[in-house]
Amino acid sequence: MKDKIVNYLSDLQKEELKDATALENFRLKWLSKKGIIQSLMDEFKTITDVQIKKEIGKLINELKQQAQIIFDEKKQEFEKHQDIQIEDDLTLELNLNTSGSLHPLSIIKNEIIQIFSKIGFVVSDGPEIEDDWHNFTALNTPPDHPARDMQDTFYIDIEKQDITQDIKLLRTQTSSIQIRVMENNEPPIRIICPGRVYRNETISARAHCQFHQVEGLYIDENVSFADLKTTLLYFAKEMFGSDTQIRMRPSYFPFTEPSAEVDISCTICSGKGCSVCKHTGWVEILGCGMVDPKVLDNCGISSRKYTGFAFGMGIERITMLKYRINDLRLFFENDIRFLKQFENEC
Ligand code: DAH
């Protein structure tokens, strides 16, 4: 292993990084999760001899540091170069006719609202800085409930807070709005709640520390699972086209019983199987279920008289499926070349 790392150290010096693409390839090859250094680390873990481990660990560190230095320096160089080019090009034509357009997430959010408003849902809103009660406890997720681990939470200044007061946090789900609306209104309630949510996740192509959800809630006398299914089938067909099918899989959420996850037939291969649907023909779009009677009671609504359904979906997920976008980070970088592609969509 020692020889291998020494060879890598000399390979590293031979890398030619001519442009930003070469730099990205360099990052993937050396520094990414599937890169050379990570695979050495994995191999390192299997070494049992302490002395060898020490020696190899040192070499891997050296390799990692050198790769990082090369990457950082080149990156800075390319960025500087780019700025200079843009600032110095006085011949660029001034286009005063450009106008802004909606962000793809806003386009899809508006479409979701429009689809549900046609069947009587109205928009409700709530705060992004929430308290523990609305985000968790009232949703049948008390402090020691294992389901809290499903959502890694950003707490706000937890040390400074008086423990007799409710702890403040960044909401992890728009389900908190359900509680606020139920506490303050009598059924029938039929709401749709779009909003931003936060989770302590490492940023990658599939996860982000901030994203957007739409929550739906319908409470009345005699609301049934059949109503839920019909509503979601209607939504899927409006959003993804009239041929779209849905399927429901049993699942678990603390605030609904029974709970389900809903898949739509893959919009790319029409259910035949492709890489997007991982050859299953189906892709997941949301979670849902019948509101747990405990949640109704927590909000002062009689669970003897009323029943209801709820659902929650990620706006990013729907947008990615609709526009075939494969990296979540694109939504937050605001690269004009990405955003311009949606100019004509609204
Ligand atoms: N709040 C859930 C989440 O963020 C999504 C969800 C699932 C919302 C089921 C619901 C529901 O209202 O019934 O993962």
Is residue 194 domain-shared with residue 266, that is, in the same domain?
yes
Q: Is residue 42 part of a domain?
A: yes
Confidence of residue 28 (pLDDT cuts 50, 70, 90): very high
Of 87, 118, 141, the residue that ends a domain is 87
Interval between CA 319 and ligand 1 midpoint (Å)? 18
Q: Is residue 135 within 6 Å of ligand 1 at its C-beta?
A: no
Domain enclosing residue 202, as ranges: 106-127+172-340
Number of domains in the chain: 2
Q: Is residue 82 domain-shared with residue 117, that is, in the same domain?
A: no
- For the Cβ of 253 lying below 6 angstroms from any atom of ligand 1, the answer is yes
CB 201 within 8 A of CB 208: yes
The torsion angles phi and psi of 131, rounded to 5 degrees, stand at: -105, 165
The answer to whether residues 83 and 110 belong to one domain is no
Question: Has residue 253 been placed in a domain?
Answer: yes
Substitution site in 124, 148, 215, 292 for ligand 1 pocket (most atoms within 8 Å of beta carbon): 215
Q: Is ligand 1 within 6 A of the CB of residue 267?
A: no
Are 187 and 331 part of one and the same domain? yes
Residue 270 lies in a domain: yes
Look at residue 150 and tell me if it is in a domain. no
If asked whether residues 73 and 202 sit together in one domain, one would say no
- For ligand 1, atom 8, the nearest C-alpha belongs to 312
Q: Are residues 118 and 62 in the same domain?
A: no
Directed axis angle between helix 2-14 and helix 50-88, to 10°? 10
Confidence band of 288 (pLDDT split at 50, 70, 90): very high
CATH of the domain at 296: 3.30.930.10
Same domain, 119 and 20: no
> Is residue 118 located within the same domain as residue 188?
yes
Are 10 and 59 contained in the same domain? yes
* DSSP letter, residue 325: -
Helix (H) or strand (E) holding 116: helix 104-117
- For atom 7 of ligand 1, the residue with the nearest CA is 287
For residue 165, the model assigns a pLDDT of 61
Q: What is the predicted pLDDT for the residue at 162? A: 65
Cα–Cα distance between 134 and 168 in angstroms, integer?
Answer: 10
> For residue 346, is it within any domain?
no
- DSSP codes joined into one string, 129-151: EEEHHHHTGGGT--TT-GGGGGS
CA angle 199, 203, 204 (to 5 degrees): 130
Mean pLDDT calculated for residue range 325-344: 92
- Residue 83 and residue 224 share a domain: no
Mean predicted confidence (pLDDT) in 72-81: 85
Has residue 255 been placed in a domain? yes
Which residues 6+ apart lie within 8 Å of 183 measured at CB?
299, 300
Residues 61 and 113 grouped into a single domain = no
In the reported structure, the alpha carbon of residue 336 is separated from the centroid of ligand 1 by a whole-number distance in angstroms of 32
- 256 CA distance to ligand 1 centroid (A)? 8
End residue of a domain, out of 33, 59, 87: 87
pLDDT-based confidence at residue 79 (cuts at 50, 70, 90): confident
Query: Is 280 in the same domain as 179?
Result: yes
Output the pTM of the full model: 0.73
Q: Which stretches does DSSP call E strand in the chain? A: 122-123, 129-131, 168-170, 189-198, 210-220, 246-253, 256-265, 282-291, 307-314
